[in-house]
Amino acid sequence: MHTYTALTLLREVGDESCVAGAVEFFASVANDDGGLPNCLETAREHPRAPWWQVGAGTDLLMTGLAAGVLHSFGVEHPWLDKATALVWDAIHSLEDSHPYEVNACARFLDHVPDRARAEVAAKRLGELVRDKGLVDLGDGEAPEGYAVGETHKPHHYAPTPDSLARRWFGDDEMARDLDRLVAEQQEDGGWTFPWNAWTPVTTYEWRSIVTIEALKTLKAYGRIS
């Protein structure tokens, strides 16, 4: 996750200097099937959020995010080919999922080179999201196992108008969601997050992240200049 996060920030500023090293790192820690673990073995004896599990095998969420960001750089690498094939197979076979995993798949589909295949897969994934109730269109009810209010909104799946996931939602649904995002701005100018803070310091770390993401989304949709 740390390497993925670094790559997304470097992509924003147009810096490709660490991409080659990052893909080699991913390849070095990947499982035999090409997938990435949820959490590395080196984290076993260190503090971490309870949802980062060591030794849980291949994680579609992490593999999809890593493959997607590398494709956004136009990377070509044997490991990325293997990881991409794994993610394709997983998306095509998904019968159930959870919002964070679906969001990772959506980011993968936004950047993978085979655009025709991505269009088809995104349509199926969107139908899964609607059928399984994996999006909050206004009721604010959290899925089982999540904190109160911990739901994925349309703008989480479609942070920009050109995201494939934008087609999952009608114009009225998207407008209401963006209105709600604007209204959620706090008195200090920032936004906050709905999931459990497993240690107090994460409140300070995550508020800055979700604030930047909110501003980027509102700018992408023309709500702010």
Domain membership of residue 76 (yes or no) is yes
Residues 126 and 163 in one domain: no
Domain membership of residue 144 (yes or no) is no
Residues 80 and 188 in one domain: no
Residues 28, 58: contact at Cβ < 8 Å? Answer: no
| DSSP assignments along 51-96, one per residue | T--BT--B-HHHHHHHHHHHHHTT---HHHHHHHHHHHHHHHH-SS
Domain membership of residue 163 (yes or no) is yes
**Confidence bin at 22 (pLDDT 50/70/90):** very high
- Specify the amino acid at residue 209: I
Domain membership of residue 85 (yes or no) is yes
Residues 115 and 39 in one domain: yes
Arithmetic mean of pLDDT over the chain: 94
pLDDT over 90 (residue 52): no
pLDDT at residue 195 in the model: 87
Residues 26 and 122 in one domain: yes
Structure tokens at 135: 């999006």
Domain membership of residue 139 (yes or no) is no
How many Å apart are CA 28 and CA 17, to the nearest integer? 19
CA distances from 61 to 1, 205, 225 (A): 10, 21, 32
**Confidence bin at 49 (pLDDT 50/70/90):** confident
Domain membership of residue 170 (yes or no) is yes
Residues 160 and 110 in one domain: no
Average pLDDT in the 183-205 region?
92
Residues 36 and 117 in one domain: yes
Domain membership of residue 66 (yes or no) is yes
Chain segment 53-107, per-residue pLDDT in tens: 898 899 999 999 999 999 999 999 999 999 999 999 999 999 999 999 999 999 9
Residues 166 and 225 in one domain: yes
Among 134, 169, 192, give the residue marking a domain's end.
134
Q: Which own/partner contact pairs does 199-202 have at CB distance under 8 Å and 24+ positions apart? A: 199/47, 202/49
Domain membership of residue 39 (yes or no) is yes
Tally of CA atoms within 13 A in the half-sphere of 23 that contains its CB: 22
Q: Which own/partner contact pairs does 190-197 have at CB distance under 8 Å and 24+ positions apart? A: 194/142, 194/147, 194/148, 194/149, 194/150, 194/151, 195/146, 195/147, 195/150, 196/147, 196/150
Structure tokens at 184: 């959620």
Residues 121 and 61 in one domain: yes
* Total number of domains in the chain: 2
| Domain ranges, residue 34 | 1-134
Residues 218 and 168 in one domain: yes
Residues 13 and 93 in one domain: yes
pLDDT at residue 142 in the model: 67
Among 134, 168, 194, give the residue marking a domain's end.
134
**Confidence bin at 46 (pLDDT 50/70/90):** very high
Residues 125 and 172 in one domain: no
pLDDT at residue 139 in the model: 67
Chain segment 121-180, per-residue pLDDT in tens: 999 999 999 999 999 998 666 667 788 788 999 999 999 999 999 999 999 999 999 999
Backbone angles phi, psi at 219, to 5 degrees: -70, -40
Residues 123 and 178 in one domain: no
